[in-house]
A and B are shown apart, each in its own frame.
Chain A
Amino acid sequence: MALARTQSIALIGLRGELVDIEVDISDGLPGYSLLGLPDAALMESKERVRSALQNSGAQWPNKRVTVSLSPAWLHKSGSGFDLPIAVALLIAQGVVIKVNHDFQVIMGELSLDGSIKPIRGVLPALIAAQELGIESAIIPAENLAETGGLTKLKPIPFSHLSQVLQYLEEGVIPDVDPKQPVLNIPESKDLSEVVGQRSARFALEIAAIGGHHLLFLGPPGTGKTMLAERIPSVLPELSSQESLEVAAIHSIAGTLAERQIDSRIPPFVAPHHTTTSTSMVGGGAHSIRPGACSLAHKGVLFIDEAPECNAGVLDALRQPLESGSVAISRVAGTVTFPADFLLVLAANPCPCGRFNGKGLACTCSSLQIRRYLQKISGPLLDRIDIRSFVEVPSRVELASVEAGESSEVVRKRVIQGREIAAERFKEETWKLNSRIPASQLRQKYRASREAMTFLHSELDHERVSARGYHKVLRVSWSIADRNGSTIPGLQDVQEAYRLREGSKFL
């Protein structure tokens, strides 16, 4: 047979598309043409496939080889097509196949000696294959750890091309050592390690209950980063569906080494403030990769020193904050990645960073102080419900031997608060307090009468904007859920007011 066909999956963002790999060997001058919009890595497959075949005891056909990847219009990228091309070449050369591979996809990169190397994006590719009715998949052994969550599709791991050949000819599934990838999971951090910071802890808890975006303001060394890093530990665990979704994104980005595949802990992503907007929202010419905000999907995106960020980087987050996803358009097509995250910003109050208490140690001019935080744009600040000033811990607090509340205790309250909210919103399209639409806040989800009177008087005295008014109401629902009140009372709204408007800097 001079013509053969195998199947694989091409990824466009998280979406997988079935790709047919057809190989035709015809008489003519020895040559290799690869059709179907391959990228540079895929163009190089010829040399890898050729050496891998020769070093696995198979033949390279010294004839005209045409490889076509269809659908032809789809841009294909990456080295994962090496293995399906090699297998198709073997079949085209007359290797007799015993295994029915009609419902099987093949993926893997070949090394020159014929061993199969791991590739990125195996998990989302296999999820897509499963939905397309594919029954089994030949995958690199090192990617096996990623495939735990699949139900209907059977992944078969291989570590060498010769094993694949043996499997296809005789149906022998090799005993491969499913090499566990070296996991580099950061130790989980607990809230009990934070000394004092009563009000910042409170802000953090309310943010977790209502899914409110959060800004920590405070001098250096007061624990803003420490607090932010501990937010995932107080968030509810991810559901298995969410966990699979998060793992799929990390599989494409190649960052699964920092995250266990079935981890239920919400991700924590902290890009440096010099990051570009492309790395923040995602991008890339041919293979579009998820950015930091998608890696933080269902978790926390923490940006330290937010005012130092380059212009536009923070503002690039406005669209995902609004829609919970990012759409990226490139030559290769348009890709949508989910990006539903809790945004936590940290900032010094002024350029010198020493503004604390009365600001006696601060060497900045009042103009500098005012300009500094203005670098965070208004529309972005608008989407941040809670602003918390993180004070320098006092002598008494630092001397205290008593540990603060642990993450465990706080998480229980967060879960309880979220359950109350979910029960209240069971008829609605949203589940979190931070997502209540403004119109509903004025009608169905008003606070108690006296609380509303208080807010209206603040509005009359121009101490709160119309926008701030709605934010305060949203936060007050989260406070009410924490305290077990059925409707936000005066005290809840006043606390919310303090969390929203309390900072003298903004």
Chain B
Amino acid sequence: MARDLQQIGADGETLVASFLQQQGISIVARNWRIKEGEIDLVARDGTTLLFVEVKSRTNSKFGHPLEAITPAKAFRLQRLALAWIATHDQWGADYRIDCAAVHFRQGLRPEVEYRAGVL
């Protein structure tokens, strides 16, 4: 079961990565992890860095996937983004925090819902 959930999460991230690449956005890193947590995707759109949190769901029993991002989690994303900038010495770069929801529905193509600049 746990493996399944991990797989769903990884599938979602892959989907979002290819969704971004289709729009000419390059992926810089995936699953960048430090002690405080993990950034699902880091991407670069021209000069702007994108830090993307991906939430995948197979049903809506627990509400909309993006509702799982509470204000506390959103601020952790912010801190992680700054940590990434610091470790990669990208001070001064424009950056944005985005969220993406991936809906996997039985018998349907998975659907990506992308929200830019959520913070």
Query: What is A's interface to B at a CB cutoff of 8 Å?
Result: 27-31, 62
Contact = CB atoms under 8 A, between A and B. Distances in A.
20 contacts: A27-B115, A27-B116, A27-B117, A27-B118, A28-B115, A28-B117, A28-B118, A29-B66, A29-B69, A29-B74, A29-B99, A29-B115, A29-B118, A30-B64, A30-B66, A30-B67, A31-B71, A62-B64, A62-B66, A62-B67
Nearest to B73: A29
A27 B116 CA distance: 8
Given A30-B66, A62-B67, 17 more contacts: A27-B115, A27-B116, A27-B117, A27-B118, A28-B115, A28-B117, A28-B118, A29-B66, A29-B69, A29-B74, A29-B115, A29-B118, A30-B64, A30-B67, A31-B71, A62-B64, A62-B66
Contacts of A31: 71
4 tightest A-B contacts by CB?
Answer: A62-B64, A29-B118, A30-B67, A28-B118
Nearest to A26: B115
Contacts of B99: 29
Contacts of B118: 27-29
A385 B74 CA distance: 70
A31 B67 CA distance: 8
Secondary structure call for the A interface: loop
B26 to A, nearest CB: 23
Nearest to A61: B64
Nearest to A63: B115
A109 B116 CA distance: 35
A505 B69 CA distance: 75
A62 B99 CA distance: 13
Contacts of A62: 64, 66-67
A28 B113 CA distance: 11
Interface string B59-75: 00000101101010010
Nearest to B115: A27
A166 to B, nearest CB: 26
Contacts of B69: 29
A28 B99 CA distance: 8
A30 B70 CA distance: 9
Contacts of B116: 27
Contacts of A29: 66, 69, 74, 99, 115, 118
B101 to A, nearest CB: 8
A27 B115 CA distance: 6
A28 B66 CA distance: 9
Contacts of A30: 64, 66-67
Interface string B66-87: 1101010010000000000000
Nearest to B97: A29
A62 B118 CA distance: 13
A496 B115 CA distance: 83
A28 B71 CA distance: 12
Instruction: Pick from B74, B99, B115, B117 the residue with the most CB of A within 10 Å.
Output: B115
Nearest to B67: A30
A33 to B, nearest CB: 11
A30 B66 CA distance: 6
A467 to B, nearest CB: 66
A305 to B, nearest CB: 56
A176 B47 CA distance: 60
Nearest to B60: A62
Contacts of A27: 115-118
Nearest to A31: B71
B70 to A, nearest CB: 9
A87 to B, nearest CB: 22
A319 B9 CA distance: 70
A29 B66 CA distance: 6
A31 B118 CA distance: 11
Contacts of B117: 27-28
Nearest to B53: A29
A63 to B, nearest CB: 8
B62 to A, nearest CB: 13
A31 B70 CA distance: 9
B14 to A, nearest CB: 23
A29 B74 CA distance: 9
A348 B115 CA distance: 75
B38 to A, nearest CB: 18
Contacts of B66: 29-30, 62
A371 to B, nearest CB: 63
A15 B76 CA distance: 47
